[in-house]
Amino acid sequence: MKKAGIIGVGEYLPKRILTNADLEKMVDTSNEWIVSRTGIKERRLAADNEATSDLAIKAAREALENAHLNPQDLDLIIVATITPDMAFPSVASIVENFLLAKKAAAFDISAACVGFVYALSIANQFIVRGTYKNALVIGAEKLSAITDWKDRNTCVLLGDGAGACVLSKVESGGIISAYLGCDGSKGELLNLPAGGSRKPASHETVDNRLHYLKMQGNELFKIAVKIMTEAARTVLRQAGLTFKDIDLIIPHQANSRIIMAVAKRLGIPEDKIYLNIEKYGNMSSASTATALVEAVKDGRVKKGDTILLDAFGAGLVWGACVIDL
């Protein structure tokens, strides 16, 4: 049976660069502190007039160009994001309109940092079953819009960007297996308290800075290492493969210490792990997406290679995916 494979990739990173030196002037922190604890040296920030859909559209256009497809060839658009332009319509609907992809169904999913892996898994089902032929999957975030720039524990971590890929049925390769999970009992460890139906916008929520991302970093660190380790092992077991069969692991770019701790537990050499966190920080659903795109552009992976995507995020949710390129 034919599988759904990636036939084109694209990305967009905003022009503005925020360095650790810049952050030293904004909050009580230092370059040494940030690098030693996170591995991040700089991150990209969208312009004031750039919304998440603007980032997504630019990444989508590059992916379509690389796939040698027109927007009219698309049957499905899925955007993974936790920073939509507005509650509705969806970012995917906005993307569909700007691209003039008139044949495409379109919707967003909210799975935080695992959103891109979730979206790939969903699109894969539609294509393998023959419901749709060509799907555009995008991970896009403007995290700077929900970042508390007075909170040194979170503002040093986050950045903006978008990554995209086009999926279609392929003669060889494709998505081999995907594994998704959730533990909602730990949702309070990483959340955005206000702005929804439970705590609608009010003077009180604004005054208490509840419209910004909140995170319990120490607890998340320990859980993330465990979750990502187990997810990688599980998805490989489902695929009938071992780590020796994997050419490159592309993890969610949350924290370099988390990633290296996972690699150590799995017994994976560092040269098999792809990192771009020092340039972009944590871009939530866009992190794994742009890391995949850059691994292709950098020549770290090529046609015929087998890669493993591995991510965790707010929810808490997690996911991993094995793909033959």
What is the secondary structure of 208-239 as a DSSP string?
A: TTTTS-EE-HHHHHHHHHHHHHHHHHHHHHHH
If asked whether residues 84 and 104 sit together in one domain, one would say yes
pLDDT digits 0-9 by tens, 140-173: 999 999 999 999 999 999 999 999 999 999 988 8
Catalytic residue flag (residue 252): yes
pLDDT at 1 over 80: no
Active-site pick, 113, 155, 165, 321: 113
Please report the sign of the dihedral spanned by the C-alpha atoms of residue 13, residue 19, residue 24, residue 29: positive
Confidence bin at 9 (pLDDT 50/70/90): very high
> What's the number of domains the chain is made of?
2
If asked whether residues 147 and 186 sit together in one domain, one would say no
What is the pTM (predicted TM-score) of this model?
0.97
Q: What is the CA radius of gyration of the chain?
A: 19
pLDDT digits 0-9 by tens, 211-239: 999 999 888 998 999 999 999 999 999 99
pLDDT given for residue 21 in this prediction: 98
pLDDT given for residue 31 in this prediction: 97
pLDDT given for residue 181 in this prediction: 97
If asked whether residues 30 and 159 sit together in one domain, one would say yes
If asked whether residues 78 and 152 sit together in one domain, one would say yes
Sheet holding 306-313, edge to edge: 174-182, 317-324, 306-313, 248-251
If asked whether residues 7 and 155 sit together in one domain, one would say yes
pLDDT given for residue 11 in this prediction: 98
Of the residues 145, 172, 199, the one at which a domain ends: 172
| Burial label, 105 (beta-carbon count in 10 A; 0-12, 13-18, 19+) | middle
If asked whether residues 160 and 224 sit together in one domain, one would say no
If you average pLDDT over every residue of the chain, what do you get? 96
Active-site pick, 134, 155, 165, 252: 252
Contacts with 296 (C-beta within 8 Å, 6 or more apart), sequence order:
9, 302, 325
CA 185 vs CA 162, 196, 269: distances in Å = 29, 19, 33
CB 284, CB 113: distance < 8 Å: yes
Catalytic residue flag (residue 321): no
Confidence bin at 200 (pLDDT 50/70/90): very high
d(CA 268, CA 92): 36
If asked whether residues 107 and 12 sit together in one domain, one would say yes
If asked whether residues 152 and 212 sit together in one domain, one would say no
Active-site pick, 66, 124, 134, 282: 282
Backbone angles phi, psi at 138, to 5 degrees: -130, 135
Per cent of the chain over pLDDT 70 is: 100
Amino acid letter, 144: S
d(CA 266, CA 308): 13
Of the residues 172, 187, 217, the one at which a domain ends: 172
CB 170, CB 3: distance < 8 Å: yes
pLDDT given for residue 71 in this prediction: 98
Of the residues 117, 150, 172, the one at which a domain ends: 172
CB 248, CB 298: distance < 8 Å: no
Structural tokens at position 79: 């955007």
pLDDT digits 0-9 by tens, 58-89: 999 999 999 999 999 999 999 999 999 999 99
Q: How many CB atoms lie within 10 A of CB 151?
A: 16
Structural tokens at position 253: 């770019």
If asked whether residues 89 and 201 sit together in one domain, one would say no
State the average pLDDT over residues 93-104.
98
CA 176 vs CA 199, 238, 307, 320: distances in Å = 41, 9, 10, 11
Q: Give the domain extent around 21.
A: 3-172
CATH code at position 29 = 3.40.47.10
If asked whether residues 155 and 195 sit together in one domain, one would say no
CB 168, CB 134: distance < 8 Å: yes
If asked whether residues 151 and 9 sit together in one domain, one would say yes
Quick one: which of 254, 234, 236 has its CA closest to 245?
236
Catalytic residue flag (residue 113): yes
CA 42 vs CA 37, 46, 191: distances in Å = 14, 14, 24
CA–chain centroid gap for 180, Å, is: 14
If asked whether residues 22 and 146 sit together in one domain, one would say yes
d(CA 39, CA 69): 37
State the average pLDDT over residues 115-133.
97
